[in-house]
A = this chain, B = another copy of it.
Amino acid sequence: MEILKGNAVVGQSGGPTAAINATLSGVIRGALRAKKDGHIGTLYGMRNGIEGFLREDFVDLTERFEGGRELDILEQTPAAALGSCRKKMRSPADDPETYSHIFEILKKYDIRYFFYIGGNDSMDTVSKLSMYAKEHDYEIRVVGVPKTIDNDLMATDHTPGFGSAAKYVATTVKEIMRDVSVYTLNAVTIVEVMGRDAGWLTASAALPVISGGRAPDLIYLPERTFDLDKFIESIKRALSEHPDVLVVISEGIRFADGTYAGASKSTVDAFGHVQLSGAGKALEWIVKERIGCKVRSIELNLPQRAAGHLLSRTDIEESVGVGKGAVNVALRGRTGVMMTIDRLESDGYCSSVGCADISSIANAVRGVPDEYITASADGITDAGIAYLAPLIEGEISVVYEKGMPKHIVI
């Protein structure tokens, strides 16, 4: 097969993760190799995803990272170094101007390889662009590379970025558990973890149990209906056993009627404005009223997706791997695919990089399966822990500068 020659472009889209630049680095590593082999000319980076592409806001990444310099620093820099956007593309039928504009730019820069690193919306963009190219006979390889701390994409065993976020959650929960255990007074601590529709990241709070720690007393995922009375009873029972009760909840837990727990304790200010507080704070107030003991809520917030100082080596290696792999499968002629990580049957943990037809992936969400959630709907099973544990394994020796992790600016 003759290899398609031309330039390439890469973009990042959607919410930040600590590993999204490791994948960018993988694409750059792949492109530098392909340039050496004479297959790819320039790898352009689009700033702020497809928005920057439409403005022709490009940076020459083959030049910026010539010889692979500083790619190790790029791999430890959290949050899209090229900038990001949140844009759900309309269909070509609804928005023909945007598509013809995109393809004019592709022709102008002789771009034959299009790599898009992102979550569900980004995979939808990849799907639409690859189909449009086929229909309009423009030869190009469009490849999606997944990233999301939510771990909710189909077709892949897990998503790049999830392992590092899970390591941060597991480590932080283990540390919080130490903190709250120093006193002898009854106290309930509620930790709120990201993940509106999928509870994977929340589930990783169960991991301290395999590392000399204890599991949180209660873990609530959005995959199960949240029952307030049962919750209060469970806390009372836990308090009767030990004073330091730790609860971990997903931001997205909902009652039987579909309303978010975070909306269950709406308050109004002096002007009558309704103020929303988040699930953790709402439950803190409810526990305080109904049980009366000391209660604290902790929202892990942005740090859980941006903690470049605490990376899973497994995650970073795989994140680089899917980036490199994207260039490889594109050179071999694949288009309209998303890169995947496949878990291999083996004694220890082992994975390989693959790809899957994107039309089967985009716009579907993969939640935590039943066999990973305890029957009481407030904990994680051994099978769930066995799935999660290898993904946080290994550390990266982060480069520091003046006491803080070094980051790169592109």
List A residues at the B interface (Cβ < 8 Å). Answer: 12, 16, 48, 51, 77-80, 83-86, 167, 170-172, 174-176, 178-184, 189, 207-208, 210-213, 265-270, 273, 275, 277, 281, 285, 289, 296, 298-303, 305-310, 312, 389, 392-395, 400-407, 409
Contacts and interface: CB of A to CB of B under 8 A. Distances in A.
A267 B271 CA distance: 10
Contacts of A178: 16, 77-79, 306, 308, 407
Could you say which of A212, A310, A404 has the most chain B C-beta atoms within 10 Å of its C-beta?
A404
B289 A298 contact: no
B175 A210 contact: no
Contacts of A212: 401, 406-407, 409
A211 B403 contact: yes
A263 to B, nearest CB: 12
29 contacts: A12-B182, A16-B178, A51-B184, A79-B175, A79-B182, A83-B184, A84-B182, A84-B183, A86-B183, A167-B404, A171-B309, A174-B405, A175-B306, A175-B307, A175-B405, A178-B407, A179-B306, A180-B302, A210-B402, A211-B401, A211-B403, A211-B406, A213-B407, A266-B269, A267-B269, A298-B301, A389-B402, A389-B403, A394-B403
Contacts of A305: 179
Contacts of A176: 302-303, 306
A193 to B, nearest CB: 13
A170 B403 contact: yes
A67 to B, nearest CB: 21
A382 to B, nearest CB: 14
Contact of A273 (B182, B289, B310, B409): B289
A25 to B, nearest CB: 15
The 9 closest A-B pairs by CB, nearest first: A267-B267, A392-B403, A179-B306, A84-B182, A79-B178, A211-B404, A175-B306, A211-B402, A298-B301
A265 B273 CA distance: 11
A81 to B, nearest CB: 8
Q: How many copies does the complex hold?
A: 2
A270 B268 CA distance: 8
Contacts of A179: 16, 78-79, 302, 305-306
A19 to B, nearest CB: 13
Given A178-B407, A212-B407, A389-B402, 18 more contacts: A16-B178, A85-B183, A171-B309, A175-B306, A175-B308, A207-B402, A207-B403, A208-B404, A210-B402, A211-B401, A266-B270, A267-B275, A273-B289, A275-B277, A277-B281, A298-B301, A300-B303, A395-B403
A395 to B, nearest CB: 6
Contacts of A273: 285, 289
B298 A269 contact: no
A184 B82 CA distance: 12
Contacts of A207: 402-404
Nearest to A180: B302
A34 B174 CA distance: 34
A267 to B, nearest CB: 4
Contacts of A48: 182-184
B174 A404 contact: yes
Given A83-B182, A267-B269, A403 B407 contact: no
Contacts of A392: 402-404
A186 B316 CA distance: 31
Scoring A273, A302, A403 by chain B CB atoms within 10 A of each residue's CB, the highest score goes to A403
A266 B268 CA distance: 9
A86 to B, nearest CB: 7
A404 B213 contact: yes
A171 B85 contact: no
